[in-house]
A and B are shown apart, each in its own frame.
Chain A
Amino acid sequence: MDLLLPGFGLFFWTAIAFLTVMFLLKKFAWKPILEALNEREKNIADSIASAEKVKAEMATMKSEHEVLLNQAREERTLMMKEAKDTKDRIINEAKDIAKEEANKIIVEARQQIENQKNAAITDVKNQIGILVIEVAEKVLRKELQNKAEQENYIKKLAEDIRLN
Protein backbone atom coordinates (compact mmCIF):
# COMPACT_ATOMS: atom_id res chain seq x y z
CA MET A 1 0.00 0.00 0.00
CA ASP A 2 3.05 2.19 0.38
CA LEU A 3 2.97 2.39 -3.36
CA LEU A 4 -0.24 4.36 -3.46
CA LEU A 5 0.76 6.84 -0.78
CA PRO A 6 2.43 9.83 -2.38
CA GLY A 7 5.72 10.75 -0.72
CA PHE A 8 5.72 14.31 0.51
CA GLY A 9 9.29 15.10 -0.53
CA LEU A 10 8.90 13.97 -4.12
CA PHE A 11 5.54 15.72 -4.37
CA PHE A 12 7.09 18.91 -3.04
CA TRP A 13 10.05 18.83 -5.44
CA THR A 14 7.88 17.84 -8.40
CA ALA A 15 5.59 20.78 -7.70
CA ILE A 16 8.50 23.18 -7.64
CA ALA A 17 10.28 21.62 -10.61
CA PHE A 18 7.23 21.18 -12.79
CA LEU A 19 5.85 24.65 -12.19
CA THR A 20 9.28 26.22 -12.71
CA VAL A 21 9.89 24.28 -15.88
CA MET A 22 6.43 25.12 -17.16
CA PHE A 23 6.94 28.80 -16.46
CA LEU A 24 10.42 28.90 -17.97
CA LEU A 25 9.49 26.86 -21.02
CA LYS A 26 6.37 28.94 -21.55
CA LYS A 27 8.43 32.09 -21.55
CA PHE A 28 11.59 30.97 -23.29
CA ALA A 29 10.58 28.02 -25.42
CA TRP A 30 6.90 27.48 -26.19
CA LYS A 31 6.08 31.08 -26.90
CA PRO A 32 8.83 31.69 -29.48
CA ILE A 33 8.42 28.22 -31.00
CA LEU A 34 4.65 28.45 -31.31
CA GLU A 35 4.89 31.97 -32.64
CA ALA A 36 7.42 30.88 -35.24
CA LEU A 37 5.38 27.81 -36.18
CA ASN A 38 2.15 29.72 -36.51
CA GLU A 39 3.86 32.50 -38.38
CA ARG A 40 5.37 29.99 -40.75
CA GLU A 41 2.01 28.30 -41.16
CA LYS A 42 0.47 31.65 -41.98
CA ASN A 43 3.34 32.46 -44.30
CA ILE A 44 2.92 29.23 -46.20
CA ALA A 45 -0.83 29.68 -46.42
CA ASP A 46 -0.32 33.24 -47.66
CA SER A 47 2.28 32.14 -50.16
CA ILE A 48 -0.01 29.46 -51.51
CA ALA A 49 -2.90 31.91 -51.67
CA SER A 50 -0.81 34.51 -53.49
CA ALA A 51 0.54 31.86 -55.84
CA GLU A 52 -3.04 30.84 -56.59
CA LYS A 53 -3.89 34.46 -57.19
CA VAL A 54 -0.96 34.96 -59.51
CA LYS A 55 -1.91 31.80 -61.32
CA ALA A 56 -5.45 33.03 -61.74
CA GLU A 57 -4.15 36.39 -62.92
CA MET A 58 -1.88 34.68 -65.37
CA ALA A 59 -4.80 32.68 -66.66
CA THR A 60 -6.85 35.85 -67.12
CA MET A 61 -3.92 37.55 -68.78
CA LYS A 62 -3.43 34.60 -71.05
CA SER A 63 -7.05 34.58 -72.08
CA GLU A 64 -6.84 38.34 -72.57
CA HIS A 65 -3.82 37.83 -74.71
CA GLU A 66 -5.63 35.23 -76.68
CA VAL A 67 -8.53 37.60 -77.25
CA LEU A 68 -6.16 40.37 -78.27
CA LEU A 69 -4.28 38.06 -80.56
CA ASN A 70 -7.48 36.89 -82.18
CA GLN A 71 -8.60 40.47 -82.59
CA ALA A 72 -5.29 41.37 -84.15
CA ARG A 73 -5.53 38.39 -86.44
CA GLU A 74 -9.03 39.34 -87.49
CA GLU A 75 -7.96 42.91 -88.00
CA ARG A 76 -5.04 41.80 -90.07
CA THR A 77 -7.27 39.65 -92.25
CA LEU A 78 -9.68 42.50 -92.61
CA MET A 79 -6.91 44.93 -93.49
CA MET A 80 -5.45 42.53 -96.02
CA LYS A 81 -8.85 42.10 -97.57
CA GLU A 82 -9.38 45.83 -97.67
CA ALA A 83 -5.97 46.37 -99.15
CA LYS A 84 -6.68 43.78 -101.81
CA ASP A 85 -10.01 45.37 -102.56
CA THR A 86 -8.42 48.77 -102.78
CA LYS A 87 -5.73 47.41 -105.04
CA ASP A 88 -8.30 45.75 -107.31
CA ARG A 89 -10.37 48.87 -107.37
CA ILE A 90 -7.42 51.06 -108.22
CA ILE A 91 -6.31 48.70 -110.94
CA ASN A 92 -9.78 48.49 -112.37
CA GLU A 93 -10.21 52.24 -112.20
CA ALA A 94 -6.85 52.72 -113.88
CA LYS A 95 -7.82 50.17 -116.51
CA ASP A 96 -11.11 51.94 -117.11
CA ILE A 97 -9.48 55.31 -117.35
CA ALA A 98 -6.81 53.97 -119.65
CA LYS A 99 -9.44 52.32 -121.84
CA GLU A 100 -11.44 55.51 -121.96
CA GLU A 101 -8.36 57.49 -122.74
CA ALA A 102 -7.37 55.07 -125.42
CA ASN A 103 -10.85 55.16 -126.88
CA LYS A 104 -10.78 58.87 -126.83
CA ILE A 105 -7.43 58.91 -128.57
CA ILE A 106 -8.65 56.45 -131.11
CA VAL A 107 -11.78 58.48 -131.72
CA GLU A 108 -9.74 61.61 -132.08
CA ALA A 109 -7.32 59.86 -134.36
CA ARG A 110 -10.16 58.60 -136.44
CA GLN A 111 -11.61 62.09 -136.55
CA GLN A 112 -8.34 63.48 -137.60
CA ILE A 113 -7.86 60.81 -140.19
CA GLU A 114 -11.35 61.55 -141.48
CA ASN A 115 -10.59 65.25 -141.54
CA GLN A 116 -7.31 64.67 -143.29
CA LYS A 117 -9.01 62.35 -145.68
CA ASN A 118 -11.76 64.85 -146.37
CA ALA A 119 -9.23 67.59 -146.81
CA ALA A 120 -7.25 65.39 -149.14
CA ILE A 121 -10.35 64.47 -151.07
CA THR A 122 -11.39 68.11 -151.27
CA ASP A 123 -7.92 68.97 -152.43
CA VAL A 124 -7.97 66.19 -154.97
CA LYS A 125 -11.46 67.37 -156.08
CA ASN A 126 -10.24 70.93 -156.42
CA GLN A 127 -7.21 69.77 -158.31
CA ILE A 128 -9.38 67.61 -160.50
CA GLY A 129 -11.81 70.56 -161.04
CA ILE A 130 -8.94 72.85 -161.95
CA LEU A 131 -7.58 70.19 -164.24
CA VAL A 132 -11.02 69.67 -165.77
CA ILE A 133 -11.47 73.36 -166.27
CA GLU A 134 -8.05 73.66 -167.76
CA VAL A 135 -8.69 70.66 -170.00
CA ALA A 136 -12.11 72.02 -170.88
CA GLU A 137 -10.65 75.43 -171.56
CA LYS A 138 -7.97 73.85 -173.74
CA VAL A 139 -10.63 71.73 -175.51
CA LEU A 140 -12.91 74.71 -175.94
CA ARG A 141 -10.07 76.85 -177.13
CA LYS A 142 -9.13 74.27 -179.74
CA GLU A 143 -12.74 73.67 -180.81
CA LEU A 144 -13.72 77.27 -181.03
CA GLN A 145 -10.76 78.51 -183.09
CA ASN A 146 -12.82 79.16 -186.30
CA LYS A 147 -15.77 81.55 -186.42
CA ALA A 148 -18.28 79.16 -187.80
CA GLU A 149 -17.84 76.81 -185.01
CA GLN A 150 -18.12 79.60 -182.48
CA GLU A 151 -21.40 80.65 -184.01
CA ASN A 152 -22.59 77.14 -184.06
CA TYR A 153 -21.77 76.63 -180.43
CA ILE A 154 -23.40 79.82 -179.40
CA LYS A 155 -26.53 78.81 -181.29
CA LYS A 156 -26.46 75.49 -179.57
CA LEU A 157 -26.00 77.10 -176.17
CA ALA A 158 -28.80 79.45 -176.99
CA GLU A 159 -31.02 76.60 -177.90
CA ASP A 160 -30.13 74.98 -174.56
CA ILE A 161 -31.11 78.07 -172.74
CA ARG A 162 -34.46 78.23 -174.57
CA LEU A 163 -35.01 74.65 -173.62
CA ASN A 164 -34.15 75.39 -170.03
Chain B
Amino acid sequence: MKNSPKTSVKSVLLAFFMVLISTFSAFSDPQMTETAHAEAGHEATAEANHEGHKEGKLDIKGEIFGHISDSYDWHLFTLGEGHEATHVSVPLPVILYNPTNGLSVFMSSAFHHGHEPAHGYELYVDGGKQKIRAQDGSKFYDISITKNVLCLFISVIILLVLMTGVARKYKKNGINKAPSGFQNALEPIIGFIQDTVAKPYLGKHYLKYMPLLLTLFFFIWVNNLMGLLPFGFNLTGNIAVTLLLALVFFVVMLANSNKYFWGHIFNPPGIPFGIKLILVPIEILSNLLIKPAALAIRLFANIFAGHTIILSIILLIFIFGGLSKVAGIAFIPVSLGFTIFMFFLELLVAAIQAFIFTNLTAVFISQAIEEHHHDDDHGHH
Protein backbone atom coordinates (compact mmCIF):
# COMPACT_ATOMS: atom_id res chain seq x y z
CA MET B 1 0.00 0.00 0.00
CA LYS B 2 2.70 2.40 0.95
CA ASN B 3 4.66 1.58 -2.13
CA SER B 4 2.75 3.59 -4.72
CA PRO B 5 3.27 7.12 -3.32
CA LYS B 6 6.85 6.29 -2.60
CA THR B 7 7.63 5.22 -6.12
CA SER B 8 6.23 8.52 -7.30
CA VAL B 9 8.41 10.25 -4.72
CA LYS B 10 11.31 8.38 -6.20
CA SER B 11 10.58 9.50 -9.71
CA VAL B 12 10.04 13.12 -8.68
CA LEU B 13 13.19 13.04 -6.61
CA LEU B 14 15.00 11.53 -9.52
CA ALA B 15 13.81 14.21 -11.92
CA PHE B 16 14.79 16.88 -9.44
CA PHE B 17 18.26 15.43 -8.94
CA MET B 18 18.69 15.26 -12.71
CA VAL B 19 18.19 19.01 -12.88
CA LEU B 20 20.56 19.55 -10.00
CA ILE B 21 23.24 17.37 -11.47
CA SER B 22 23.75 19.69 -14.43
CA THR B 23 25.47 21.98 -11.95
CA PHE B 24 28.04 19.31 -11.28
CA SER B 25 28.53 18.20 -14.85
CA ALA B 26 32.01 19.73 -14.86
CA PHE B 27 33.10 17.35 -12.13
CA SER B 28 31.94 13.99 -13.27
CA ASP B 29 30.71 11.86 -16.07
CA PRO B 30 26.96 12.46 -16.53
CA GLN B 31 26.27 8.80 -17.13
CA MET B 32 27.77 7.86 -13.81
CA THR B 33 26.05 10.53 -11.79
CA GLU B 34 22.74 9.65 -13.31
CA THR B 35 22.89 6.14 -11.96
CA ALA B 36 24.30 7.41 -8.72
CA HIS B 37 21.34 9.67 -8.29
CA ALA B 38 18.94 6.92 -9.06
CA GLU B 39 20.61 4.89 -6.35
CA ALA B 40 20.57 7.77 -3.94
CA GLY B 41 16.89 8.23 -4.46
CA HIS B 42 16.42 4.59 -3.69
CA GLU B 43 18.58 4.84 -0.65
CA ALA B 44 16.61 7.61 0.98
CA THR B 45 13.28 5.92 0.51
CA ALA B 46 14.43 2.38 0.95
CA GLU B 47 16.14 3.08 4.21
CA ALA B 48 13.14 5.02 5.41
CA ASN B 49 11.11 1.94 4.58
CA HIS B 50 13.46 -0.33 6.38
CA GLU B 51 13.71 1.66 9.56
CA GLY B 52 10.05 2.57 9.58
CA HIS B 53 8.98 -1.02 9.45
CA LYS B 54 11.37 -2.17 12.10
CA GLU B 55 10.46 0.52 14.62
CA GLY B 56 6.84 0.68 13.58
CA LYS B 57 7.30 4.40 12.88
CA LEU B 58 9.90 6.61 11.27
CA ASP B 59 13.06 7.04 13.32
CA ILE B 60 13.79 10.63 12.30
CA LYS B 61 16.94 11.05 14.34
CA GLY B 62 18.36 7.68 13.25
CA GLU B 63 17.48 8.45 9.64
CA ILE B 64 19.23 11.83 9.60
CA PHE B 65 22.26 10.70 11.57
CA GLY B 66 22.49 7.56 9.49
CA HIS B 67 22.92 9.73 6.44
CA ILE B 68 25.34 12.28 7.75
CA SER B 69 27.43 9.92 9.86
CA ASP B 70 30.31 7.85 8.70
CA SER B 71 29.73 4.18 7.93
CA TYR B 72 31.72 1.06 7.18
CA ASP B 73 29.99 0.30 3.92
CA TRP B 74 28.85 2.49 1.09
CA HIS B 75 25.13 1.93 1.27
CA LEU B 76 23.36 2.45 -2.06
CA PHE B 77 19.82 1.18 -1.56
CA THR B 78 17.73 -1.50 0.07
CA LEU B 79 15.42 -3.84 -1.83
CA GLY B 80 12.38 -5.25 -0.15
CA GLU B 81 11.09 -4.43 3.28
CA GLY B 82 11.40 -5.57 6.84
CA HIS B 83 13.28 -8.74 7.53
CA GLU B 84 13.48 -9.85 3.91
CA ALA B 85 15.21 -6.61 2.97
CA THR B 86 18.30 -6.93 0.82
CA HIS B 87 20.81 -4.19 1.41
CA VAL B 88 22.73 -3.24 -1.70
CA SER B 89 25.93 -1.60 -0.62
CA VAL B 90 29.59 -1.46 -1.55
CA PRO B 91 31.62 -3.10 1.19
CA LEU B 92 34.66 -1.14 2.30
CA PRO B 93 37.83 -2.40 3.98
CA VAL B 94 37.79 -2.48 7.76
CA ILE B 95 41.22 -2.02 9.28
CA LEU B 96 41.46 -2.54 13.03
CA TYR B 97 44.54 -2.67 15.20
CA ASN B 98 44.43 -4.30 18.57
CA PRO B 99 47.62 -4.19 20.70
CA THR B 100 47.03 -7.77 21.85
CA ASN B 101 45.42 -9.36 18.79
CA GLY B 102 47.36 -7.40 16.17
CA LEU B 103 46.07 -6.04 12.89
CA SER B 104 42.82 -7.28 11.33
CA VAL B 105 41.94 -6.32 7.79
CA PHE B 106 38.70 -7.53 6.23
CA MET B 107 35.82 -6.25 4.12
CA SER B 108 32.87 -4.80 5.97
CA SER B 109 30.63 -7.31 4.17
CA ALA B 110 31.95 -9.87 6.68
CA PHE B 111 29.63 -8.29 9.26
CA HIS B 112 26.58 -9.01 7.09
CA HIS B 113 25.14 -5.62 8.06
CA GLY B 114 25.67 -6.24 11.73
CA HIS B 115 24.04 -9.63 11.78
CA GLU B 116 27.29 -11.55 12.29
CA PRO B 117 30.53 -10.84 14.14
CA ALA B 118 33.80 -11.03 12.23
CA HIS B 119 37.41 -11.50 13.39
CA GLY B 120 36.33 -11.01 16.97
CA TYR B 121 34.59 -7.68 16.29
CA GLU B 122 30.96 -6.86 15.90
CA LEU B 123 29.09 -4.07 14.15
CA TYR B 124 26.18 -2.33 15.81
CA VAL B 125 24.11 0.76 15.16
CA ASP B 126 23.81 3.49 17.75
CA GLY B 127 21.57 6.45 16.97
CA GLY B 128 21.83 5.77 13.27
CA LYS B 129 25.60 5.59 13.43
CA GLN B 130 27.49 2.37 12.70
CA LYS B 131 29.99 1.40 15.36
CA ILE B 132 32.41 -1.47 15.88
CA ARG B 133 33.23 -3.01 19.22
CA ALA B 134 35.51 -5.86 20.16
CA GLN B 135 33.60 -8.89 21.37
CA ASP B 136 35.96 -9.27 24.31
CA GLY B 137 35.64 -5.57 25.09
CA SER B 138 39.34 -4.85 24.56
CA LYS B 139 40.61 -1.53 23.27
CA PHE B 140 41.54 -1.18 19.59
CA TYR B 141 42.39 1.43 16.97
CA ASP B 142 40.09 1.79 14.02
CA ILE B 143 41.60 3.07 10.79
CA SER B 144 39.04 1.55 8.45
CA ILE B 145 38.42 2.90 4.98
CA THR B 146 34.96 4.19 5.78
CA LYS B 147 32.53 5.97 3.48
CA ASN B 148 34.06 9.33 4.32
CA VAL B 149 37.61 8.04 3.87
CA LEU B 150 36.52 6.82 0.44
CA CYS B 151 35.17 10.31 -0.26
CA LEU B 152 38.47 11.72 0.97
CA PHE B 153 40.43 9.52 -1.42
CA ILE B 154 38.17 10.35 -4.34
CA SER B 155 38.47 14.06 -3.65
CA VAL B 156 42.24 13.76 -3.33
CA ILE B 157 42.41 12.03 -6.70
CA ILE B 158 40.12 14.66 -8.25
CA LEU B 159 42.28 17.44 -6.85
CA LEU B 160 45.52 15.84 -7.99
CA VAL B 161 44.27 15.06 -11.49
CA LEU B 162 42.63 18.45 -12.06
CA MET B 163 45.38 20.58 -10.61
CA THR B 164 48.37 18.77 -12.06
CA GLY B 165 46.53 18.71 -15.39
CA VAL B 166 46.19 22.46 -15.30
CA ALA B 167 49.78 22.85 -14.14
CA ARG B 168 50.93 20.72 -17.06
CA LYS B 169 49.04 23.02 -19.40
CA TYR B 170 50.89 26.02 -18.01
CA LYS B 171 54.19 24.24 -18.45
CA LYS B 172 53.35 23.15 -21.97
CA ASN B 173 51.79 26.35 -23.29
CA GLY B 174 53.92 28.82 -21.44
CA ILE B 175 52.58 32.18 -20.41
CA ASN B 176 52.09 33.68 -23.82
CA LYS B 177 49.21 31.47 -24.83
CA ALA B 178 45.70 32.25 -23.66
CA PRO B 179 44.41 29.82 -21.00
CA SER B 180 41.90 27.25 -22.17
CA GLY B 181 39.43 24.77 -20.73
CA PHE B 182 39.58 24.13 -17.02
CA GLN B 183 42.57 26.44 -16.81
CA ASN B 184 40.11 29.28 -17.41
CA ALA B 185 37.97 28.20 -14.48
CA LEU B 186 40.88 27.75 -12.13
CA GLU B 187 42.86 30.85 -12.95
CA PRO B 188 40.44 33.44 -11.59
CA ILE B 189 39.96 31.41 -8.40
CA ILE B 190 43.69 31.15 -7.80
CA GLY B 191 44.03 34.82 -8.65
CA PHE B 192 41.20 35.60 -6.25
CA ILE B 193 42.86 33.70 -3.39
CA GLN B 194 46.16 35.36 -4.19
CA ASP B 195 44.87 38.91 -4.56
CA THR B 196 42.11 39.10 -1.97
CA VAL B 197 43.32 36.65 0.67
CA ALA B 198 47.05 36.08 0.56
CA LYS B 199 48.45 39.46 -0.52
CA PRO B 200 46.37 41.80 1.66
CA TYR B 201 46.95 39.84 4.88
CA LEU B 202 50.33 38.21 4.47
CA GLY B 203 52.04 40.97 2.53
CA LYS B 204 55.42 40.14 1.12
CA HIS B 205 55.45 36.66 2.68
CA TYR B 206 52.34 35.65 0.79
CA LEU B 207 53.99 33.26 -1.64
CA LYS B 208 55.18 31.04 1.22
CA TYR B 209 51.60 30.42 2.39
CA MET B 210 49.94 30.19 -1.01
CA PRO B 211 50.24 26.37 -1.30
CA LEU B 212 48.58 25.95 2.12
CA LEU B 213 45.81 28.42 1.36
CA LEU B 214 45.11 27.04 -2.10
CA THR B 215 45.13 23.43 -0.91
CA LEU B 216 42.82 24.31 1.99
CA PHE B 217 40.45 26.20 -0.26
CA PHE B 218 40.18 23.60 -2.99
CA PHE B 219 40.17 20.66 -0.57
CA ILE B 220 37.30 22.13 1.41
CA TRP B 221 35.40 23.28 -1.64
CA VAL B 222 35.66 20.01 -3.52
CA ASN B 223 34.66 18.06 -0.41
CA ASN B 224 31.77 20.43 0.29
CA LEU B 225 30.51 19.79 -3.23
CA MET B 226 31.09 16.04 -2.87
CA GLY B 227 28.87 16.26 0.20
CA LEU B 228 26.11 17.70 -1.94
CA LEU B 229 26.23 14.78 -4.34
CA PRO B 230 23.75 12.16 -3.24
CA PHE B 231 26.40 9.55 -2.54
CA GLY B 232 25.90 10.05 1.18
CA PHE B 233 29.32 11.64 1.66
CA ASN B 234 29.73 14.16 4.44
CA LEU B 235 33.44 14.78 4.84
CA THR B 236 33.64 18.47 5.68
CA GLY B 237 30.64 18.06 7.96
CA ASN B 238 32.70 15.73 10.11
CA ILE B 239 34.52 17.19 13.09
CA ALA B 240 37.53 14.89 12.62
CA VAL B 241 38.26 16.41 9.22
CA THR B 242 37.73 20.03 10.17
CA LEU B 243 39.77 19.47 13.32
CA LEU B 244 42.65 18.14 11.25
CA LEU B 245 42.46 21.12 8.90
CA ALA B 246 42.43 23.46 11.88
CA LEU B 247 45.40 21.61 13.36
CA VAL B 248 47.35 22.02 10.14
CA PHE B 249 46.68 25.75 10.33
CA PHE B 250 47.63 25.75 14.02
CA VAL B 251 50.98 24.04 13.37
CA VAL B 252 51.75 26.42 10.51
CA MET B 253 50.83 29.39 12.67
CA LEU B 254 52.99 28.24 15.59
CA ALA B 255 55.91 27.34 13.33
CA ASN B 256 55.92 30.80 11.78
CA SER B 257 54.96 32.92 14.79
CA ASN B 258 57.41 35.61 15.84
CA LYS B 259 58.38 37.19 19.13
CA TYR B 260 55.81 39.98 18.80
CA PHE B 261 53.06 37.38 18.72
CA TRP B 262 54.25 35.65 21.89
CA GLY B 263 55.10 38.93 23.55
CA HIS B 264 51.60 40.09 22.85
CA ILE B 265 50.15 36.98 24.47
CA PHE B 266 52.28 36.70 27.59
CA ASN B 267 53.23 40.31 28.18
CA PRO B 268 50.84 42.68 26.44
CA PRO B 269 52.63 46.02 26.27
CA GLY B 270 51.29 49.15 27.87
CA ILE B 271 48.76 47.41 30.12
CA PRO B 272 48.74 47.61 33.95
CA PHE B 273 49.70 44.48 35.88
CA GLY B 274 46.27 43.91 37.35
CA ILE B 275 44.62 43.82 33.97
CA LYS B 276 47.41 41.62 32.63
CA LEU B 277 46.36 38.95 35.10
CA ILE B 278 43.00 38.81 33.36
CA LEU B 279 44.18 39.56 29.86
CA VAL B 280 46.99 37.01 29.59
CA PRO B 281 44.74 33.96 30.14
CA ILE B 282 42.24 35.43 27.68
CA GLU B 283 44.99 35.97 25.12
CA ILE B 284 46.32 32.45 25.62
CA LEU B 285 42.86 31.00 25.21
CA SER B 286 41.98 33.12 22.22
CA ASN B 287 45.19 32.53 20.31
CA LEU B 288 45.99 28.95 21.19
CA LEU B 289 42.56 27.42 21.53
CA ILE B 290 39.76 29.54 20.18
CA LYS B 291 41.36 30.35 16.83
CA PRO B 292 41.79 26.73 15.68
CA ALA B 293 38.57 25.64 17.38
CA ALA B 294 36.64 28.41 15.67
CA LEU B 295 37.94 27.28 12.30
CA ALA B 296 37.13 23.63 12.96
CA ILE B 297 33.67 24.20 14.40
CA ARG B 298 32.58 26.86 11.92
CA LEU B 299 33.15 24.64 8.90
CA PHE B 300 31.83 21.50 10.56
CA ALA B 301 28.69 23.18 11.86
CA ASN B 302 27.87 24.89 8.57
CA ILE B 303 28.13 21.80 6.43
CA PHE B 304 26.55 19.57 9.06
CA ALA B 305 23.64 21.97 9.44
CA GLY B 306 23.13 22.22 5.70
CA HIS B 307 22.95 18.45 5.33
CA THR B 308 20.65 18.14 8.32
CA ILE B 309 18.26 20.76 6.96
CA ILE B 310 18.08 19.15 3.51
CA LEU B 311 17.48 15.71 5.02
CA SER B 312 14.88 17.07 7.42
CA ILE B 313 12.96 18.77 4.65
CA ILE B 314 12.95 15.59 2.58
CA LEU B 315 11.93 13.54 5.61
CA LEU B 316 9.00 15.88 6.20
CA ILE B 317 7.36 14.10 3.27
CA PHE B 318 7.53 10.82 5.17
CA ILE B 319 6.52 12.39 8.44
CA PHE B 320 3.39 13.78 6.84
CA GLY B 321 2.97 10.53 4.91
CA GLY B 322 3.02 8.73 8.27
CA LEU B 323 0.10 10.90 9.43
CA SER B 324 -1.90 10.38 6.28
CA LYS B 325 -1.10 9.37 2.76
CA VAL B 326 -2.79 12.44 1.30
CA ALA B 327 -0.84 14.80 3.54
CA GLY B 328 2.39 13.10 2.49
CA ILE B 329 1.64 13.47 -1.22
CA ALA B 330 0.43 17.03 -0.75
CA PHE B 331 3.62 17.97 0.99
CA ILE B 332 5.90 16.67 -1.78
CA PRO B 333 5.98 19.89 -3.87
CA VAL B 334 6.52 22.03 -0.78
CA SER B 335 9.31 19.83 0.42
CA LEU B 336 10.92 19.66 -3.01
CA GLY B 337 10.74 23.43 -3.39
CA PHE B 338 12.50 23.92 -0.11
CA THR B 339 15.04 21.22 -0.93
CA ILE B 340 15.88 22.80 -4.27
CA PHE B 341 16.28 26.15 -2.57
CA MET B 342 18.48 24.59 0.11
CA PHE B 343 20.59 22.84 -2.49
CA PHE B 344 21.31 26.12 -4.25
CA LEU B 345 22.02 27.73 -0.92
CA GLU B 346 24.37 24.88 -0.05
CA LEU B 347 26.15 25.29 -3.38
CA LEU B 348 26.82 28.85 -2.32
CA VAL B 349 27.73 27.82 1.22
CA ALA B 350 30.18 25.24 -0.14
CA ALA B 351 32.22 27.97 -1.79
CA ILE B 352 31.69 30.56 0.94
CA GLN B 353 32.79 28.25 3.76
CA ALA B 354 35.88 27.20 1.83
CA PHE B 355 36.67 30.87 1.29
CA ILE B 356 36.01 31.78 4.93
CA PHE B 357 38.23 28.99 6.21
CA THR B 358 41.01 30.07 3.87
CA ASN B 359 40.51 33.72 4.67
CA LEU B 360 40.55 33.21 8.45
CA THR B 361 43.62 31.00 8.13
CA ALA B 362 45.37 33.86 6.35
CA VAL B 363 44.15 36.39 8.91
CA PHE B 364 45.26 34.30 11.89
CA ILE B 365 48.64 33.55 10.33
CA SER B 366 49.09 37.23 9.53
CA GLN B 367 48.48 38.06 13.20
CA ALA B 368 51.16 35.56 14.23
CA ILE B 369 53.79 36.81 11.76
CA GLU B 370 53.01 40.51 12.07
CA GLU B 371 56.12 42.61 12.58
CA HIS B 372 54.44 45.74 13.90
CA HIS B 373 52.17 45.87 16.82
CA HIS B 374 48.47 46.39 16.55
CA ASP B 375 46.31 46.45 19.61
CA ASP B 376 43.16 45.79 17.68
CA ASP B 377 43.48 42.05 17.52
CA HIS B 378 41.93 41.55 20.94
CA GLY B 379 38.62 39.84 21.16
CA HIS B 380 38.00 39.56 17.46
CA HIS B 381 37.42 35.89 17.56
Where the two chains meet, the residues of A that have a C-beta atom closer than 8 Å to any C-beta of B are: 2-15, 17-22, 24-26, 28-37, 39-40, 43
Contacts and interface: CB of A to CB of B under 8 A. Distances in A.
Given A18-B245, A36-B175, A37-B187, A28 B215 contact: no
A98 B168 CA distance: 96
Interface of B: 65, 69-70, 95, 126-127, 129, 141-146, 148-149, 152-153, 156, 159-160, 163-164, 166-167, 170-171, 174-176, 186-187, 190-191, 194, 207, 210-212, 214-215, 219, 238-241, 243-245, 248, 304
Given A9-B95, A31-B167, 17 more contacts: A2-B129, A3-B69, A3-B239, A8-B141, A9-B141, A17-B156, A20-B156, A24-B160, A25-B214, A25-B215, A28-B163, A29-B160, A29-B164, A32-B170, A33-B167, A37-B190, A43-B175
B155 to A, nearest CB: 8
Given A33-B170, A37-B190, A21 B156 contact: yes
A14 B296 CA distance: 14
A30 B170 CA distance: 11
Contacts of B186: 33
Given A3-B239, A7-B238, A30 B215 contact: yes
A14 B152 contact: yes
Contacts of B127: 2
A37 B215 contact: no
A60 B37 CA distance: 68
A8 B243 contact: no
A25 B166 CA distance: 11
Contacts of A10: 70, 146, 148-149, 152, 238, 240-241
A9 to B, nearest CB: 5
23 contacts: A2-B126, A3-B69, A6-B240, A8-B141, A8-B143, A9-B146, A10-B148, A10-B240, A10-B241, A11-B244, A12-B143, A14-B152, A14-B245, A17-B153, A18-B248, A21-B160, A22-B215, A25-B164, A28-B163, A31-B211, A33-B186, A34-B210, A36-B175
Contacts of B174: 36
B194 to A, nearest CB: 7
Contacts of A5: 239
Contact of A4 (B69, B159, B190, B239): B239
A8 B142 contact: yes
Contacts of B243: 6, 11
A60 B194 CA distance: 39
B164 A13 contact: no
A53 B353 CA distance: 45
Nearest to B132: A9
Contacts of B145: 13
Nearest to A10: B240
Contact of A17 (B95, B152, B164, B240): B152
B92 to A, nearest CB: 11
B191 A37 contact: yes
A39 B215 contact: no
B167 to A, nearest CB: 4
A34 B166 CA distance: 11
A11 B143 CA distance: 9
